[in-house]
Amino acid sequence: MIRSKIAGIGMYIPDKLVTNNDLSKMMDTTDEWIQERTGIRERYYADRKAETTATMGMEAARVAIQRAGLTPQDIDFLIFATLSPDYYFPGCGVLVQRGLQMKEIGALDIRNQCSGFVYALSVADQYVKTGTYKNILVIGSEKHSFGLDFSTRGRNISVIFGDGAGAVVLQPTEKEDQGILSTHLHSDGESAELLAMYNPGTHANHWVDRELADFDEAENGQMFMSHAMIDKAQNFPFMDGPAVFKKAVVKFPEVIMEALTANGLVASDLRLLITHQANLRISQYVQHMMNLRDDQVHNNIQKYGNTTAASVPIALCEAWEEGKIKRGDLICLAVFGSGFTWGSALLRW
Ligand code: COA
């Protein structure tokens, strides 16, 4: 039986450290509030000019590819997950194909926000298992700092997010005790507007009525982006934090249990659970619900903030670099985010 194994993993964190106190100089917030509600102490921001979501993704990819014992020319398919792409279109995948001078391989972009990496991993897994591709590069990368509202108006979101990238190379293995056992993906679009960036977009207020009713019909109906949208901060993400929190703490345990049950395993079999680093309080609640010890989870949101599609591969890479993961260990990756979308992947390292 063929499964996909992680043959190489890498991460990239930009240099610019931004503490909670740094943010409190830009908006009405405090280190105490941010740490108490989210667990975050600091995060890193990309260089505004020199670094993009694609270039950070390439940095992480270079490490993953080299650790897999490959060169970029050996990769035969790539998948890029992000919510902060370099361009509205084309996606970041082709920029990586160009930047790493890869062959003319397929480059797929995934738009599943915080769930993006597990969605991407799931797609890659199917290609590997069916024998379609042998070396698939999966990247999650975000440059949030370029699109946040750093005034007090945006403080509930801006304090949470950070920049960074993670990447893995998937390869086939026939070993019984290695590889991805299963992936589980879900969505519920009922609350799509509760965690979203509405513009640029083509909705013309069809779905979004909050504060937009007074928009000029012609302007709003015919443009991706208008001055009025910018005046109303529609070019920044919107989040109903408490609603996200409530749904996340239900869906995380549910989808982790789904993965374990599908494979006849239980939580105590886990060497490590890596949840999307949305909020330390959410991760701690999930740990408690799953009855896991501290050494069975890896959280790093304190250092990096929420890096959305990059958070799971960064946490996985860091845990591996710290020696927390050994060959054959059972690992569960679990994600939840905008959409709402959620999912899990259960694997043996
Ligand atoms: N600093 C200081 N005060 C802030 C603040 C900040 N950065 N952000 C919001 N506040 C204020 C609010 O304005 C509100 O003030 P009010 O009571 O005077 O109206 C108060 O804090 C409480 O706001 P609320 O949104 O109810 O706080 P909360 O306890 O729910 O915490 C989040 C806010 C965003 C930290 C929390 O809801 C959360 O983490 N939700 C999940 C978000 C998430 O995981 N997103 C990623 C999805 S993958």
Domains annotated for the chain, with CATH where assigned, are: 3-173 (3.40.47.10), 179-192+239-298+307-348 (3.40.47.10), 199-235 (no CATH)
Residue 206 in this model has a pLDDT that exceeds 70: no
- Ligand 1: which residue has its CA nearest to atom 25? 241
Average of per-residue pLDDT across 92-114: 98
Q: Residue 218: what pLDDT? A: 46
Q: Residue 226: what pLDDT? A: 77
Ligand 1 center from residue 249 Cα (angstroms):
16
Angle 127-132-135 (CA atoms, 0-180°, nearest 5)?
75
Ligand 1 center from residue 156 Cα (angstroms):
5
Cβ neighbors of 180 (< 8 A, separation 6 or more) are 3, 4, 5, 121, 125, 170, 345, 346, 347
- Ligand 1: which residue has its CA nearest to atom 48? 337
Confidence of residue 211 (pLDDT cuts 50, 70, 90): low
Top-confidence residue, 225 or 54: 54
Mark whether 306 is an active-site residue: yes
Measured between alpha carbons, how far is 332 from 54 in angstroms, rounded to an integer?
Answer: 27
Average of per-residue pLDDT across 18-35: 98
Ligand 1 center from residue 71 Cα (angstroms):
44
pLDDT tens per residue, range 231-255: 878 889 999 999 999 999 999 999 9
- Percent of the chain exceeding pLDDT 70 equals 94
Residue 213 in this model has a pLDDT that exceeds 50: no
- Percent of the chain exceeding pLDDT 90 equals 89
Q: Residue 219: what pLDDT? A: 53
Residue 227, token pair as written in the block: 């001055």
pLDDT tens per residue, range 75-88: 999 999 999 999 99
Q: Using CA of residue 202, residue 208, residue 213, residue 214, what is the dihedral sign?
A: negative
pLDDT tens per residue, range 121-149: 999 999 999 999 999 999 999 999 999 99
Pocket around ligand 1 at a 6 A CB cut-off: 29, 33-34, 37-38, 114, 155-156, 159, 195, 239, 241-242, 244-245, 248, 278-279, 282, 306, 336-337
Residue 218 has φ and ψ, to the nearest 5°, of -65, -45
Average of per-residue pLDDT across 6-25: 98
Average of per-residue pLDDT across 97-113: 98
Task: Assess whether the previous peptide bond of 90 is cis (omega < 30° from 0).
Answer: yes
- Ligand 1: which residue has its CA nearest to atom 44? 278
Q: Residue 222: what pLDDT? A: 59
Task: Assess whether the previous peptide bond of 224 is cis (omega < 30° from 0).
Answer: no
Mark whether 279 is an active-site residue: no
Confidence of residue 221 (pLDDT cuts 50, 70, 90): low
Q: What is the mean pLDDT of the chain?
A: 94
Pairing of strands 272-275, 330-337: parallel
In the chain, the amino acid numbered 209 is: D
- Ligand 1: which residue has its CA nearest to atom 22? 156
Average of per-residue pLDDT across 11-18: 98
Top-confidence residue, 339 or 214: 339
169: Cα separation from own chain's centroid: 16
Residue 214 in this model has a pLDDT that exceeds 70: no
